[in-house]
Every structure is written in structure tokens, then in C-alpha cells.
């Protein structure tokens, strides 16, 4: 059963209805130095053993000046790989669910290294840092209210405080997706929208990219979350949210990135005045 979103805040209720070894270059191979030995003479006066020794020394010198077979293979692989990305040799869908797919890719990386990678492919997400400046003067301008949500995240086994966010539908415009998610989860619309940043939260295995938008000039309305969402939301001062971050109470990556970036923007605006 989906609980309705709450709008209680610390000091200000919402107007919405409930709802990131130094490699030492290898020394160049040196030509092997061979010592000249006096050839052994057979009973017939020939020097077959001396010729054999000379021939062996020549082979040793040749090996010392030639690159190893491993280095040669790496050089060949580097030529085969793309200079800007990996060369895909094979890709299989190992798992497909309603939110993402897992691809098992066999590739040649730009370095020439052959690798097998499991990658989660995702349509991407939007994050909204919704700001209410109140009367737009004094403390409301310097220390505005920020919309945050509390919901249970099974992957972490706990409730987390987060900025409003959601996944994009296939081919959906990120801005329209952000406007849709904010309205669904909190009931808010906004007069002004701007892009803060686009980033990859975990590029080692996750192909998902996140668009963080700044929403200003909030307009309250009725929230209508999806059936599987149980969200409580409230407005907190930017200073209070930053204090929660310093104390380690905010564990969600997108909320850390968005809030701290917005703080830097606020500081630059203040310095210009």
C-alpha cells in the first residue's frame, strides 16, 4: 500500500498536498655481449664446436634486441583497438528486467587489453534540486529551502534522505522527465529550470548517467507518486542540509553532488555582491 507523501518540515511546512604507481619506463633492451673463446680442435683439425658456440651466441644477441612476444601482442592489439573507445568483439544480454539490462561484453580496450566486462545498461535518470526562496530577501535568499524526500531503499537496507529523482523513459527529454518526476513525487512545478550537471555515479560497471536540474520559483500542487512508491517529503534549509552532510547523515550520492554544487554556486553569487 502506498503511503501519501507528507509535507511536514523543520520550521516550514510545504504547500503541496500530501501525496567521485608511477610507471617507470622500461629500459631499452641491450645487445648481449658474448665472450670469444678459443675453438676446440678435433683430431682432424676442424673447429666444429667453435662454430656451434658462435652460432648460439648470435642467437642470444638477436633475442636480446627483439621485443618479447608479449609486448609484440600488446602492440598489435593497440593498433586494433579504437583510439577513443573499446572495440566490441561480442555482447550478450545476461539479464533483462523492467529497470535495466546487464550486458556481458568481450572487448579490446584502447590500451590493447582484452577484457570481459559485465555492464548495467540503463536509460538514465533525472535529479531535481528544487529551491524555495520564500520572500526572496535576507535569509530566504542566502539560505533557501530545499525539497528532500525520505524513502526506503532495499539495496542499502535502510531509509535514505534524497533529492527528488527518477528514471527516464526511453527517448524521453531529460528536462521533461525532471518536470514529470518532481510533479509526481512532490506535487511541485517550477517557473525556472536550469541544468546543474550531468555525471556517472558508478562508471566501473554502471552505464547510467544522471542529469541534475535546478528548479526555482516553486508552485505547489498535488503529488501523485507511482503505486510502488512510499515517499515522505519536506523542505529544509540549505544550511541544515549541509550540516546533515557534514555529520554523515546524507548517504545518497546524487544528493551529495547536487547540494554541494549548489552551495558553491550560492557562494559565487554572494562573492560577486
In terms of domains, do 212 and 242 share one?
yes
- Copy the grid coordinates of residue 129: 534540486
40 has a pLDDT exceeding 80: no
pLDDT digits (tens, 9 = 90+) for 192-208: 999 999 999 999 999 99
CA distance 164 to 185: 7
3-state secondary structure of 113: coil
In terms of domains, do 78 and 152 share one?
no
- Copy the grid coordinates of residue 168: 527516464
Query: How confident is residue 56, by pLDDT bands cut at 50, 70 and 90?
Result: low
Catalytic residue, from 96, 181, 208, 227: name it.
227
In terms of domains, do 184 and 99 share one?
no
- Does a structural domain hold residue 6? no
Cα 171 off chain centre by = 21
Cα 31 off chain centre by = 47
For residues 111-149, one letter each, b for 16 or more C-beta atoms within 10 angstroms of the residue's C-beta and e for the rest, the string is: ebeeeeeebeebbbbbbbbbbbeeeeeeeeeebbbbbbb
Radius of gyration of the CA atoms of the chain, in A:
32
pLDDT at position 84 is 64
pLDDT digits (tens, 9 = 90+) for 14-32: 444 444 443 444 444 343 3
CA distance 103 to 107: 12
- Does a structural domain hold residue 62? no
The strand pairing partners of 153, in sequence order, are 158
Mean pLDDT of the chain: 79
165 neighbors 125 (Cβ within 8 angstroms): yes
pLDDT at position 269 is 84
262 neighbors 241 (Cβ within 8 angstroms): no
- Does a structural domain hold residue 4? no
Give the domain CATH number at 209: 3.90.79.10
Query: How confident is residue 71, by pLDDT bands cut at 50, 70 and 90?
Result: low
Q: How many C-beta atoms surround the C-beta of residue 235 within 10 A?
A: 28
- Does a structural domain hold residue 223? yes
Give the global pTM.
0.68
CA distance 33 to 58: 10
In terms of domains, do 181 and 226 share one?
yes
In terms of domains, do 90 and 150 share one?
no
- Copy the grid coordinates of residue 155: 539495496
Choose between 153 and 68: higher pLDDT: 153
**Geometric angle at alpha carbon 90, from 85 and 93, rounded to 5°:** 105
pLDDT at position 137 is 77
What value does the mean pLDDT take over residues 186-195?
97
Say whether 227 is catalytic.
Answer: yes
pLDDT at position 224 is 84
191 neighbors 163 (Cβ within 8 angstroms): no
Q: How many domains, the chain?
A: 2
DSSP 78: H
In degrees and rounded to multiples of 5, residue 247 shows phi and psi of -85, -5
In terms of domains, do 181 and 253 share one?
yes
Q: Lowest-confidence range among 162-171, 182-191, 223-232?
A: 223-232
What value does the mean pLDDT take over residues 42-69?
47
In terms of domains, do 138 and 159 share one?
yes
In terms of domains, do 109 and 236 share one?
no
165 neighbors 258 (Cβ within 8 angstroms): no
| Structural domain harbouring 91 | 73-121
pLDDT at position 226 is 75
Amino acid at each position: 500500500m502506498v503511503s501519501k507523501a507528507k509535507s511536514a518540515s523543520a520550521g516550514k511546512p510545504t504547500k503541496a498536498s500530501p501525496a567521485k604507481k608511477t610507471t617507470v619506463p622500461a629500459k631499452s633492451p641491450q645487445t648481449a655481449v658474448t665472450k670469444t673463446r678459443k675453438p676446440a680442435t678435433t683430431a682432424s683439425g676442424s673447429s666444429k664446436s667453435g662454430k656451434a658456440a658462435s652460432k648460439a651466441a648470435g642467437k642470444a644477441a638477436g633475442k636480446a634486441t627483439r621485443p618479447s612476444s608479449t609486448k609484440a601482442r600488446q602492440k598489435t592489439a593497440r593498433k586494433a583497438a579504437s583510439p577513443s573507445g573499446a572495440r566490441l568483439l561480442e555482447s550478450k544480454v545476461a539479464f533483462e528486467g523492467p529497470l535495466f539490462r546487464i550486458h556481458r561484453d568481450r572487448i579490446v580496450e584502447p590500451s590493447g587489453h582484452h577484457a570481459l566486462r559485465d555492464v548495467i545498461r540503463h536509460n538514465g535518470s533525472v535529479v531535481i534540486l528544487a529551491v524555495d526562496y520564500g520572500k526572496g530577501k535576507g535569509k530566504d535568499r542566502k539560505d533557501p529551502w530545499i525539497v528532500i524526500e525520505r524513502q526506503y531503499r532495499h539495496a542499502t537496507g535502510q531509509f535514505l534522505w534524497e533529492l527528488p529523482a527518477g528514471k527516464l523513459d526511453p527517448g524521453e527529454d531529460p528536462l521533461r522527465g525532471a518536470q514529470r518526476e518532481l510533479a509526481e513525487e512532490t506535487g511541485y512545478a517550477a517557473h525556472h529550470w536550469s541544468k546543474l550537471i550531468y555525471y556517472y555515479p558508478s562508471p566501473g560497471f554502471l552505464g547510467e548517467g544522471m542529469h541534475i536540474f535546478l528548479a526555482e520559483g516553486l508552485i505547489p500542487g498535488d503529488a501523485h507518486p507511482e503505486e510502488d512508491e512510499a515517499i515522505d517529503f519536506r523542505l529544509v534549509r540549505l544550511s541544515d542540509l549541509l550540516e546533515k552532510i557534514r555529520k554523515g547523515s546524507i548517504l545518497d550520492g546524487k544528493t551529495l553532488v547536487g547540494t554541494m554544487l549548489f552551495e558553491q554556486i550560492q557562494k559565487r553569487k554572494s562573492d560577486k555582491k
